[in-house]
């Protein structure tokens, strides 16, 4: 999947609140979150991911802005690079995003509609995350976010939420599904919700903050096939071996300056 320019990504739905339909075969965005090293970022891209997420909030996967800057500079331009923030000062969110050159912001806390709008006016794309069933999902347009993520109540826990809580609530053309996804259940999530995208972190890890090449590939393949995409969009088995070798070769160098904090909280 080649990411469209930010201006071509789904915009907030109109005042009528109509829920769109995504046809089978429509390309699904695959986002690998919790990236902590250049090696894992390159691995995700090699395995066919469309987007990678970097956590700036307190977490076992938290990374420093300067480390992310170096990683982003090595990624293809078409990859959607996302900074994940939780209850951060809006001005700080905008400063980090635009200094690094990230293509999107993911607000994954209790940000108000006013603060979300303020950020959205100053960055290329804003993704606002909500727990499944949250009351504020009923007035999404007041937040001004281009995309909406529906997640489990405890982000990063690996827990799956009841997908029925997102049915008919969010326009599928704006919806990113997260929360406990892995290669075994992502197809069911896509079949139920027909989302614009799917997001995974713990479900493709060998350990917290370190991605597993085979799990990443399995997730991407499962998502692509569930969406009915053509086989030429699915990474080959050969790609796993190539990416694994590249990941191992780059690991030592990519970890330099990549601050990884051991927090009890997680996203």
Q: How far is CA 15 from CA 12, 169, 228, 243, in A?
A: 9, 14, 31, 45
How far is it, in rounded angstroms, from Cα 245 to Cα 266? Answer: 29
Q: What percent of the chain is predicted at pLDDT more than 70?
A: 74
Residue 235's pLDDT is 64
**Among 110, 62, 118, 66, which Cα is nearest to 90's?**
118
Please report the domains of the chain, with CATH numbers, ordered by start residue.
24-253 (3.20.20.70)
Annotated catalytic residue 151: yes
The tens digit of pLDDT for each residue in 203-246 reads: 999 999 999 999 999 999 999 999 887 655 566 654 554 554 44
Q: Going residue by residue through the chain (267 aa), what tens digit of pLDDT does each one get?
A: 544 455 455 433 332 333 344 454 468 999 999 999 999 999 999 999 999 999 999 999 999 999 999 999 999 999 999 999 999 999 999 999 999 999 999 999 999 999 999 999 999 999 999 988 888 888 889 999 999 999 877 655 567 777 777 777 889 999 999 988 999 999 999 999 999 999 999 999 999 999 999 999 999 999 999 988 765 556 665 455 455 444 444 444 434 333 322 333 444
Annotated catalytic residue 33: yes
Residue 163's pLDDT is 78
φ, ψ of residue 210 to 5 degrees: the values are -125, 120
Residue 108's pLDDT is 94
DSSP state of 12: P
Task: Provide the H-helix boundaries in the chain.
Answer: 38-46, 65-72, 90-100, 113-120, 186-193, 213-226, 237-254
Residue 264's pLDDT is 37
Residue 253's pLDDT is 40
Catalytic residue among 40, 50, 151, 171: 151
- Are the C-beta atoms of 173 and 22 separated by less than 8 Å? yes
Residue 135's pLDDT is 86
The tens digit of pLDDT for each residue in 1-29 reads: 544 455 455 433 332 333 344 454 468 99
E-only strand ranges, the chain: 29-32, 51-55, 80-85, 104-107, 126-131, 147-151, 175-177, 197-200, 205-207, 210-211
């Amino acid at each position: 999947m080649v990411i469209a320019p930010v201006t071509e990504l789904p915009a907030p739905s109109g005042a009528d609140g109509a829920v769109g339909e995504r046809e089978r075969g429509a390309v699904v965005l695959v986002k690998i979150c919790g990236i902590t090293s250049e090696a894992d970022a390159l691995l995700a891209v090699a395995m066919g991911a469309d987007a990678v997420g970097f956590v700036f909030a307190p977490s076992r996967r938290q990374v420093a802005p300067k480390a992310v800057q170096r990683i982003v500079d090595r990624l293809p331009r078409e990859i959607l690079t996302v900074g994940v923030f939780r209850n951060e000062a809006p001005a700080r969110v905008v400063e980090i995003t635009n200094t690094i050159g990230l293509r999107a912001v993911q607000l994954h806390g209790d940000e108000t509609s006013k603060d979300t709008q303020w950020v959205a006016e100053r960055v290329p794309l804003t993704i606002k995350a909500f727990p499944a069933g949250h009351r504020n999902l009923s007035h999404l347009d007041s937040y001004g976010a281009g995309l909406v993520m529906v997640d489990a109540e405890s982000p990063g826990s690996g827990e799956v939420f009841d997908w029925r809580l997102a049915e008919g609530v969010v326009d599928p053309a704006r919806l990113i599904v997260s929360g406990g996804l892995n290669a075994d259940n992502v197809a069911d999530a896509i079949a139920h919700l027909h989302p614009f995208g799917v997001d995974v972190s713990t479900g493709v890890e060998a350990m917290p903050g370190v991605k597993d090449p085979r799990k990443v590939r399995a997730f991407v393949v499962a998502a692509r096939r569930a969406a009915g995409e053509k086989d030429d969009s699915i990474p080959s088995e050969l790609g796993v071996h190539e990416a694994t070798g590249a990941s191992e070769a780059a690991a030592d160098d990519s970890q330099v300056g990549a601050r990884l904090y051991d927090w009890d909280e997680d996203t």
